[in-house]
Amino acid sequence: MTPAPVRVRFAPSPTGYLHIGGARTALFNWLFARQQGGQFVLRIEDTDTERSRPELIDVIFQALEWLGLDWDGAPVHQSQRSELYSSAIEKLLADGSAYWCECTPDAVKARAAVRGGPPGYDGFCRDRGLGPGEGHVVRFRVPDEGTTAFDDVIRGHVSFENANLEDFVIQRSNGTPMFHLANAVDDADQGITHVVRGEDLINVTPKVLLIRDALHAAGELTFAHLPLIVNEKRQKLSKRRDDVSVGDYIDRGYLAEAMVNYLATLGWGAPDGIEIRPLPEIVELFRLSDVGSSGAFFDVKKLQHFNGEYIRNLSVPQFVSSSTRWLFDDPPWPPDRFDVATFEVLAPLVQERVKLLSEVPGYVDFVFAPEPTIDDASWQKVMVKGGELATAVLDHAAGAFEVCEWDAASLEAALFAYAEEHDVARGKVQAPVRVAVTGRSVGPPLFESLEVLGRDETLRRVRDARARL
């Protein structure tokens, strides 16, 4: 017999934005599905009506779209499938796999405190034959003996003693199902073949397995628990503590391709060791069983390196259009002074220098702003400490730039004539002009910049700076 085609799911809960950890989980599911020629489906786990925020669902979808992780079929919303869960719960209740319980969380906690020992539910209502009622929940009757085990693609054999599992809630007192139940029902109903998720969910696996057993769920379910992505303290990434919203990375000027490529290296490595490579190659090489099992630190520095590589690999038109947002959204110059054609001239020079698209405006603001924004540290270093050299160079430039041809090569020759005559390093000679014209001691190549700025404005800025020395 031929094995069932792979069908995996990404099942976010709309209680927050898509974060880095979720994006990685979605990516690995997607990679596995695409590599296997299988399907990747989406399921919104919104059974907790108190916490779910429907407006976040689209935000999550948009983040997945931005990442380029396309899904098969329409997403399933658990909130719209309550009949399925209720009938599963009735079935479990009917055959004794589950029972009604009237204990409040406080009562459970209080008894545990009196009892001492491990916290958790003590099976108080197990055999009381309670029925539905105000404040009643449904609990799953966990076998007292035996073990529940599974073979994890990434971790190997994992087993739990049933005796260590408490009778957990599968239906809240408000009638909504808990996620273990909905999860087990949906995975069976949707024909899911592999569950690929974070390691933080590994200990709910026996509960889901127990429910599947009791429901006589059809089909095999294979699990793969991904290592967690951790922060610098090696703790699981947290939305509150860490900077992890995918949306924030979009806003900072990261390219989706760079993010996806970087995320793929967290827990997985291509056999040939090449890290930066096109997505189709990653799809081809990806093997779920090759995923590592220890936590991986989310290293923004390395992500930035990847991003710089991807930015440099863009064609110039692609770079220009990718930068658009940062050029028009709250730019550091009066919007009407911006000119695309001018930017396009400078674009290739900027492209090879930025790691983030959000840095782009800072490289071209001197052209579009009426005055250069003077960086104090640069002025101090070059103009003040530079002393006589600065004044001499600016005087030379003011004269030479007035008569030379206005193109980069001529400007370079005109300015560096000073370096030849006075035997001064070219680096020292360009500095005062750069600070006078752009306000900073670093930036795109100077002479191309001057060419774009034009003779009148360049001379005005040079004289202006000279006057202030």
Partner RNA sequence: GCCCCCAUCGUCUAGCGGCCUAGGACACCACCCUCUCAAGGUGGCGGCACGGGUUCGAAUCCCGUUGGGGGUGCCA
C-alpha closest to that of 88 among 23, 194, 184: 184
Burial environment of residue 86 by CB neighbours within 10 A (0 to 12, 13 to 18, 19 or more): middle
Q: Which residues does 216 contact at the CB level (< 8 Å), separation at least 6?
A: none
C-alpha 469/C-alpha 465 separation (Å) is 7
Q: Which residues does 52 contact at the CB level (< 8 Å), separation at least 6?
A: 13, 14, 15, 46, 79
- For RNA, the closer CB: 216 or 233: 233
CB of 242 to RNA, least distance (A): 11
Among 38, 227, 253, 386, binds RNA (CB under 7 A): 227
CB of 228 to RNA, least distance (A): 5
Q: Is 84 in the site for RNA (CB under 7 A)?
A: no
Phi, psi at residue 305, to the nearest 5°?
A: -60, -45
Q: Is 241 in the site for RNA (CB under 7 A)?
A: no
Among 2, 50, 83, 330, binds RNA (CB under 7 A): 50
- The helix (run of H) or strand (run of E) holding residue 177 is none
Q: Structure tokens of 52?
A: 């779910």
CB of 263 to RNA, least distance (A): 10
Please list every residue from 281 through 300 that binds RNA, using CB under 7 A. Answer: 290, 292-297, 299
Please list every residue from 333 through 352 that binds RNA, using CB under 7 A. Answer: 352
Among 128, 312, 337, 422, binds RNA (CB under 7 A): 312
- Say which DSSP state 49 is in: T
Q: Structure tokens of 267?
A: 């827990």
Q: Is 201 in the site for RNA (CB under 7 A)?
A: yes
- For RNA, the closer CB: 38 or 206: 206
- For RNA, the closer CB: 103 or 327: 103
Tell me the site size for RNA, rule CB under 7 A.
87
239 a catalytic residue: yes
Among 59, 130, 158, 356, binds RNA (CB under 7 A): 158
Q: Is 427 in the site for RNA (CB under 7 A)?
A: yes
Contacts 24+ apart (CB under 8 A), 173-176: 173/134, 173/135, 173/136, 173/137, 174/49, 175/86, 176/47, 176/48, 176/49, 176/82
- Say which DSSP state 375 is in: -
Among 24, 194, 396, 434, binds RNA (CB under 7 A): 434
C-alpha 397/C-alpha 379 separation (Å) is 17
Among 37, 118, 129, 133, binds RNA (CB under 7 A): 118
Among 266, 288, 346, 397, binds RNA (CB under 7 A): 266
Q: Is 397 in the site for RNA (CB under 7 A)?
A: no
Site stretch for RNA (CB under 7 A), options 42-50, 92-100, 316-324, 389-397: 42-50
Which residues are identified as catalytic? 239
